């Protein structure tokens, strides 16, 4: 196949699949560390931000043409390691962390920067989603959320077997949860359920599943991905986001990946995304030009092997920011 024909076929593919004209993403990146495992039972995710730094996140983003500012770490209460109370583990501490995260991310977005939150357990996304939703409301722009995760994270105090708040952020985002968590956003819900897309789901608690079904969020679990492929799943999601003219917040939990390639997480679930499925997902998000903010969650160096999980997360982040096997698919 000639170079010209290959380029033409690729352009037709993009036009046909997305029916949108991709735009350049904001390349003024702010890295925000969240060294917290306050929302989880297992300790260790608090070391995730430094693992990402050591794995070269700044360097690889700069290679993609980004101007990168690492603003350091958000601070908050230490993990008291207490049992749940009324269905919530460490509620007060989680609220403080979420408010501090909100303020840090909102401040960076208000300066025109693209925030990347480096976690940290996934409870941190309550603060990040609240900040993104508040910023988008101020600028009269709808917000959509792409949740890439092995878990639905849709528990409430009534459905959660553990009380861990890292299993609740999607529920909080769509308006279900403790008032102190819900109040961090500008409105309830922070994100309308119809604007939430979940990818790679394969572990959902029994009563949590009923809430997910009732909510109307769009779930692409691993069986569905096996049947239609990650390409079609992402085409459908990105087309919907484009049609809404929305800001896309991507929340990437590394446990979405198959455990053999990403062992450094506390909640591994067999049968996750392969490396190439995950990379294509990220490449397609980049090509759409829709992403405006990013979470990287649940890296646990205490369970990792030679920082391999952080390195894979950094590698996939590079794909989110435009790294391809051949730039612009020019073969």
| 80-120 pLDDT tens trace | 999 999 999 999 999 999 999 999 999 999 999 999 999 99
Structure tokens at 223: 């069986």
Q: How far apart are CA 259 and CA 140, in angstroms?
A: 40
pLDDT at 201: 98
- pLDDT of 5 reads 53
Domain residue ranges in the chain: 14-329
CA 212 to CA 186: how far, in whole Å? 23
Query: Which residues are bridge partners to 148 per DSSP?
Result: 199, 252
Q: Report the C-alpha gap between 231 and 209 in whole angstroms.
A: 25
Just list the catalytic residues. 122, 149, 151, 153, 166, 253, 255, 298
Contact 306, 134 (CB under 8 A): no
- Please tell me the CATH superfamily of domain 14-329, with its number: Ureohydrolase domain (3.40.800.10)
CA–CA dist 3, 8 (Å, integer): 9
pTM attached to this predicted model? 0.92
Q: What is the pLDDT of residue 330?
A: 40
What residue ranges of the chain have pLDDT lower than 70? 1-23, 327-331
pLDDT of residue 139: 96
């Amino acid at each position: 196949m000639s170079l010209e024909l290959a380029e033409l076929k690729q352009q037709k593919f993009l036009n046909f699949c997305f029916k949108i004209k991709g735009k350049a993403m904001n390349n003024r990146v702010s890295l925000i560390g969240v060294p917290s495992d306050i929302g989880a039972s297992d300790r260790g995710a608090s070391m995730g931000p430094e693992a990402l730094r050591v794995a070269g996140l700044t360097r690889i983003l700069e290679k993609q043409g980004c101007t990168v500012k690492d603003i350091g770490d958000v601070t908050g209460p230490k993990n008291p390691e207490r049992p749940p109370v009324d269905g919530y583990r460490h509620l007060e501490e989680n609220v403080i962390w979420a408010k501090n995260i909100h303020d840090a991310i909102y401040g960076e977005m208000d300066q025109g920067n693209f925030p990347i939150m480096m976690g940290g357990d996934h409870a941190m996304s309550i603060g990040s989603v609240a900040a993104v939703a508040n910023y988008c409301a101020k600028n009269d722009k709808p917000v959509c959320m792409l949740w890439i995760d092995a878990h639905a994270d849709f528990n409430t105090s009534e459905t959660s077997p553990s009380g861990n708040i890292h299993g609740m952020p999607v529920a909080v985002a769509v308006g279900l949860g403790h008032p102190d968590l819900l109040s961090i956003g500008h409105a309830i819900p922070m994100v309308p359920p119809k604007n939430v897309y979940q990818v790679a789901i394969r572990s959902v608690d029994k009563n949590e599943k009923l809430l997910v079904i009732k909510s109307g969020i769009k779930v692409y679990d691993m069986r569905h991905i096996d049947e239609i492929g990650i390409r079609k799943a992402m085409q459908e999601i990105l087309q919907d986001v484009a049609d809404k003219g929305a800001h896309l917040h991507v929340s990437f939990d590394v446990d979405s990946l198959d455990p053999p390639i990403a062992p450094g997480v506390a909640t591994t679930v067999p049968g996750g995304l392969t490396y190439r499925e995950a990379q294509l997902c990220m490449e397609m998000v980049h090509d759409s030009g829709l992403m405006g903010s990013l979470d990287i969650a649940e890296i646990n160096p205490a369970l990792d092997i030679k920082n391999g999980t952080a390195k894979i997360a950094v590698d996939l982040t590079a794909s989110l920011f435009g790294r391809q096997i051949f730039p612009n698919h020019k073969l």
